[in-house]
Structure 1
């Protein structure tokens, strides 16, 4: 649209850039030329109601594809062409133009081909000498290129954050692997240092058990031999009573048996530690997951025994190709979490089964449960609902990564106040194992 004083100018100005204006031209002609060729669309609206446009510079055609007279003729043109998602925030604050005098917005504006351009719009209120609003002058600038660059940078930032998260997870998994390797070395040292003395003590206890049986048999035969001799029998009876021989015979047998059981427990603990860490085993192997569960139970027994009864409902599992030590780590995390979820004496249920080339291991508890708003976050690194200093928030995250590496998945179901159930699903033959050994 042209200034009213310049109706004589060619109407082609709306369809193509105007020809250069000689410096000798009048100031108003020069002004018309500048307005029509500035990068910003200049417009005016009434200062009330629907902000009907009263003037639009000719360069609107070059930017938006609409002729100025078309935009001025429609009283709702500006409102109707703002993107529906952007319009509410503009409409709700438009009245601030009258109190602040100027407002700036960034929004999407529908152009003639139906697509949207991002526009920067600055509105300024003009008042007369009495302060009465006269009109609103606006300046529309196409900022689509800038917005696309910002979106690209934002996407790049999100990608970088995701990469940082992956690096952090990889770092934590590396630290955990190093820790497990250290545990494995420690287990090997413990096994070597303890198994030797335990071996000969166990052998000695076996011999002692036989010796005690022999001695008790000798005493019985002495008493039988003395029976025909009343005086000797009386003396032996006094000695038997003084020594409380009946108690000693019963108690020494119990002591030897309990000592043998204790030695077996020590051997089982050392073997469980070796099985748990799988010293020297860093490659895919065929493993018995029930054996891994039982070994892990031995490791965490002290964490569980005062808080829970373990109910094992094992099904039939085929041998599974896996990284056994890493799966044992998953089992340990789930068992320890189950124990921590129990406020008082409770039950931890272990169930297993297999179907269609997959196995599943379920660790359930009847503890406090997980709040619904936390269920979607429990596998996030560093997320924990435990008090500060009581958990790192890495156990479930690392477990998720290990199960994912095996081509499996972890499912969780929980009801606050009733308990939680984690179910690990694993393929019997993970594709990752075939790639690693192929």
Structure 2
């Protein structure tokens, strides 16, 4: 349709030049027919000078119907076209308009202000007309309102973006579901391990206590026998006691019992921490003690950290926080493990807490290698990792980000190469009432 309109405009220009011929009655009839076609075509036909500001020299009368302007006004104002183009669209047009003289044709889509002050999308097809010598003499063009198509394209684009966002959210939900299933499996395993380990720990602990009591009674009996022995046997008893080094055994056995009981207590604490960390069956929101969660998580990952880093704790008391504590523990665990991986030899990991107003924060910092600034904005992307191939899935931080976002909080990160990184988790006391921006 646009090419047809351009042809009509070219014919109209030619007819204008022929109107001076007094013998052109047939041509005048063609002229009337042409005017009728132009006035009823969907496109505004125009012509302009091929230099300077491309001042319009002709505008078809249907401009009044499409844009609301009087064609004579559009022709009389030398800056009309330029001044009515949307400011954001001008640079693209004028930076390439000179190519019209090379290619002979150009097509643009831009926003043009109508008489109501609204910007409508127009498709502008320009063609350069040259004389027999090749010199530019005129530019003809057609302006077609494509606002409806643009609206449809924008709607499709918006729907496409919404679909992308929906797919991303579904992917995140699936990742979190998989991780939740994994954590649930760990929790069930922990419950089973706790049950299986607590039984032998219980009777071993009981037996040690009883054995310690029996040995104390045995040493007491030996002392009493030695005290009532006949004087002639007293030297023999003393010799036997010294040979067996009973004084050392009595002291050392007591220390061994105390160490064994302490070791059993540590095993019980680790098992309990594993249960607390996973919180089997707890997927509901409830008020929780975050510091207790941090401590239970530390017990779980301590074996991976203790050979590389010294843990420094700077806790401020925290009010109860409404959350899914097992998920917050998972975030803390991911950050602690990442901090230990960032330390190549020996270093420090600091954990601090605090609260203000209606929010709490947990800071985990390390003295590791740091994160390059050009990667800071990518570390929360799914499957992105700075670790060597085969040593990281790239899901830890993205899942942590999703969990914190679900709790209406946020994660902040600061890092410097060679000095380390700091991750700060900020959470509202009650996500139903407050959201951290």
Structure-1-length-normalised TM-score: 0.82
The equivalent of 1:206 in structure 2 is: 209
CA 284–80 in structure 1, closer or farther in 2 if over 3 Å, else same: closer
Alpha-carbon spacing, 1:96–1:185, altered in 2? closer, same or farther (3 Å): same
Aligned to 2:410: 410
Alignment gaps of 5+ in structure 1: 9-22, 434-438
Q: Is the 8 A contact 1:412 1:420 kept in 2?
A: no
User: Following TM superposition, by how much is the alpha carbon of 1:85 offset from its aligned partner in structure 2, in angstroms?
Assistant: 0.9
Aligned partners of 1:119 and 1:143 also within 8 Å: yes
| Partner residue, 1:178 | 181
Q: How many angstroms does 1:248 deviate by?
A: 5.5
Distance 1:359 1:83, change over 3 A: closer
Contact 1:410 1:422 in 2 (8 A): no
Structure 1 pair 97–354 and aligned structure 2 pair: CA distance change class (3 A): closer
Q: Given the superposition, is the C-alpha separation of residues 320 and 56 from structure 1 closer, same or farther in structure 2, using an over 3 Å criterion?
A: closer
Find the partner of 1:144 among 126, 147, 151.
147
Q: What is the TM-score of this pair, normalised by structure 2? A: 0.82
Q: How does 1:24-63 map to 2 (within 5 A)?
A: 26-63=29-66
* Paired residue total: 416
- Residue segments in structure 2 that go unaligned for 5+ positions in a row: 1-8, 21-25
Change in CA separation of 1:333 and 1:215 when aligned onto 2, cut-off 3 Å: same
Over 3 Å counting, the alpha-carbon distance change for 1:141 and 1:431 in structure 2 is: closer
Aligned positions of 1:271-290 closer than 5 A: 271-290=272-291
Q: Is 2:368 the counterpart of 1:367? A: yes
Query: Quick one: structure 1 residues 118 and 345, their matched pair in 2 at CA, closer, same or farther if it must change by over 3 Å?
Result: same
Shift of 1:296: 0.7
The yes-or-no answer on 1:123 pairing with 2:126 is yes
- 1:329: which partner in 2? 330
Equivalent pair of 1:227/1:233 in contact (CA under 8 Å): no
Q: How far apart, CA to CA, are the structure 1 residues paired with 2:421 and 2:32?
A: 79
Query: How far apart in 2 are the matches of 1:280 and 1:36?
Result: 75
Deviation at 1:25, TM superposition (A): 7.9
Distance 2:101 2:139 in 1: 10
Name the residue aligned to 2:16: 4
- Paired residue secondary structure (2:410): strand
In structure 1, distance between residues paired with 2:196 and 2:338: 32
Task: Measure the CA separation in 2 of the matches of 1:122 and 1:322.
Answer: 60
Partner residue in 1 for 2:95: 92
In the TM superposition, residue 173 of structure 1 has moved relative to its aligned partner by 1.9
Secondary structure in structure 1 of the residue aligned to 2:281: coil
Deviation track 1:50-88 (CA, whole Å, cap 9, x = no partner) reads: 223232222222222223332233333322222111111
Q: Distance in 1 between matches of 2:178 and 2:433?
A: 22
Output the CA distance in 1 between the equivalents of 2:356 and 2:89: 52
